[in-house]
Amino acid sequence: MNYTTSLTFIGAGNMSSSIIGGLIGEHYPPQAITACDPNLDALDRLSQTFAIQTTTDNTVACQQSDVIILAVKPQILKSVAEGLQTTLTNRANTSKESLPLIISIAAGITSQQIQNWLGQNVAIVRCMPNTPALVQQGACGLYATAQTSSEQKLIAEQLMQAIGDSVWLNDEALIDSVTAVSGSGPAYFFLLMEAMIDAGVKQGLNKDIATQLTLQTALGAATLAKSSDVSVGELRRRVTSPGGTTEQALNYFEHAGLRDTVTKAMQACADRSKTMAKELN
């Protein structure tokens, strides 16, 4: 990434902190990063941890920034974006080339909505990261509008790669599917881990041991799957001996309709993402 690119994060929550932490870990200069938020405590934490610039004034921070990352909740994105209209109009009047790249991490809000709220024909990249970004193990889907240059796409990709893996999508509608798979996905695994810990306790293990075994098993399975050159289905088959203990558990999952339950749950997630765009327009 070009270390002279100036970045402004609007919102100083966990996701901004994760991305900033990943960038600083990659030796990105803190003086090129600004975070904006009305919460002074959140700004103080970022400033003390990463030595970046902070402000409560979005307008000031966005006057010269090359990239603006909208890292606020979907419910307030409209008001935040509309608050930037004057700044972007002034920059456009100076030169269209001076307009920044806008990156949004808000679920359910389309690029066209963001475009309308900003009041300018700017380059927009929508992305859907997830909470493992907090430990630089995130997964993110990216979509760029037609106004986005190759250089701007590279900047967005490098930002997200600072906190994990990223993939590009050709269809913005697929952001809803990314939300269902990886955006909300960590919660599915947390639920399964929670259930496994509870089951281990019911079978006689103390909670600390059940937790340690469950979390290490989840980490080991994911690490093995990611490093393997075979599918997760094949890995499952390799650990499932005919007539053995694993087969008994898997047969119960299958007979209980686990696959269908997962499919319906993820569809409900994607549908909710679509509905949010309508509700927040």
Q: Specify binding-site residues for NADP(+).
A: 10-15, 71-74
Could you give phi then psi for residue 37, rounded to 5 degrees? -170, 145
Closest by CA position to 115, among listed 128, 104, 131:
104
Annotated binding site: 10-15, 58, 71-74
Could you give phi then psi for residue 165, rounded to 5 degrees? -95, 150
Rounded alpha-carbon distances, angstroms, from residue 79 to 8, 153, 222, 250, 260:
17, 26, 40, 49, 39
Nearest 5°: CA angle at 20, between 15 and 25? 130
Nearest 5°: CA angle at 235, between 234 and 237? 65
**All residues at 6 or more sequence positions from 264 whose CB lies less than 8 Å from its CB, including other chains:** none
How large is the angle between the packed helices 14-25 and 40-50, nearest 10 degrees? 10
Closest by CA position to 181, among listed 105, 266, 95:
266
Cα 261 from Cα 267, distance rounded (Å): 10
Could you give phi then psi for residue 130, rounded to 5 degrees? -135, 175
Instruction: Output the six-digit token pair for 196.
Output: 């496994």
Q: Side chain identity at 35, as an amino acid letter?
A: A
Instruction: Output the six-digit token pair for 140.
Output: 């993110």
Cα 44 from Cα 219, distance rounded (Å): 33
Contact 180, 173 (CB under 8 A): no
Instruction: Output the six-digit token pair for 145.
Output: 């509008």
Annotated binding site for NADPH: 58
